[in-house]
Amino acid sequence: MTRAVQATDTPNVPFQPVSAAALAGWLRLQMTDGVGLMTAHRLLLRFRTPEAVFDADRAALLREVKPGQADALLQPPPDALAALVDATLAWQQQPGNFLLSHDDPAYPEALRNIAAAPLLLYLKGRTELLARPSLAVVGSRNASAQGMLNADRMAQALSEAGLTIVSGLALGIDAAAHAGGLNGPGSTIAVIGTGPDRIYPARNKQLARRIAEEGCIVSEYALGTPPLRDNFPRRNRVISGLARGVLVVEAAAQSGSLITARLAAAQGRELYAVPGSIHATLAKGCHTLIREGAKLVETAADILTDLELLSPDAPGGRPSPDDSFVDRVLEALGEDPAGADLLALRLQQSAADLQGQLLALELAGLVERLPGGMFQRLRA
């Protein structure tokens, strides 16, 4: 049966607002010419804080960086810094907006440990989702109708089991995965490639607004950052870095989703791929990943079983509903469709605890999930 993932599976540390002085240091470090994230982390390992980096003399800096980089770090703060600090502090004070620096205890530990981790995270929405187990679902922007349906249904089933769905807010598979995630208690996280005050693509504006209210939007880019081409491949490491694994639903042979998949493998994450027709262009990338070692999946149950969130039946790996509870659920469901909240009331059980049983019954072919979060009993 499904083991519902709880928020307490990982710690949820209270957020503390970033001070003006600390924010100025972080932003200045990001804006220093010739200093990338890898160099920034090397400096922070030595000096601990951005302020200490900029207080260091040239001799101390030269023990960590090249002369040109040391000279850049010794330059006065850029003229645009003060205005950006003020704008960011004002943004941080708006309801639902949060800012996390790399040294904050609330910074997601899985992300903190990847190569070139973001120095700052801009968050909009339910920040507690960052502390929950999650799975990334990615794929083609030009997805097929079947691929979109697969992504939506798999994401919803995984969300029903308690996994938060992480994706990149792109058109196609990403958007379908976010929509599916929002339909379950696991919800969804969108990692974007613009500043947190921008929405891209515009066609996903309504979806982004819903995610900001019911899920969480994450950006590593400063306010005002437009949709620059290079930012989207870079944000893929954050998508995989936040997740326990990555599921690729559809991908062409040269798809950007393969970047996320290979980053996931490099980060030690689990990698899953949905197979397709040998004649389908959008299956080529998934087949390549499977040949390279990704686990072939056909249903959400395959992933849940692999992550030990679903007790497998022998030998097919399908769910085994709790027999002592199945009859009660089916009796409570009756002949007419009912929502999880109503069933929970009839059974006098919490809706969160019931979701795992409903998922197991659905995957076992005993109930069918209908639009609007309703469930209907299936008769043999």
Domain count for the chain, please give it: 3
- Scan for tokens 């791929």, then name that residue: 273
Q: What is the mean pLDDT of residues 191-214?
A: 97
Q: What is the pTM of this model?
A: 0.80
CATH number of the domain residue 263 falls in? 3.40.50.450
CATH number of the domain residue 47 falls in? 1.10.150
- Scan for tokens 């799975």, then name that residue: 135
Do residues 368 and 336 share a domain? yes
Answer yes or no: is pLDDT of 156 > 70. yes
Please say whether the beta carbons of 116 and 170 come within 8 A: no
Contacts of 271 (CB under 8 A, 6+ apart): 245, 246, 248, 261, 264, 265, 289, 293, 294, 295
Please say whether the beta carbons of 248 and 282 come within 8 A: no
Q: Which residue range forms the structural domain that includes residue 348?
A: 323-377
Q: Share the mean pLDDT of the chain.
A: 88
Tell me how far apart the alpha carbons of residues 113 and 128 are, in angstroms, rounded to a whole number: 19
pLDDT grade for 311, boundaries at 50, 70 and 90: low
Do residues 186 and 153 share a domain? yes
The pLDDT tens digits of the residues spanning 208-235 come to: 999 999 999 999 999 999 999 899 989 9
Q: What angle do CA 114, 117, 119 make, to 5 degrees?
A: 160
318 within domain boundaries: no
Which amino acid, 361? L
Do residues 39 and 163 share a domain? no
Do residues 31 and 173 share a domain? no
Please give the residue that has the higher pLDDT: either 154 or 334. Answer: 154
Pick from 60-64, 168-172, 307-311: least confident: 307-311
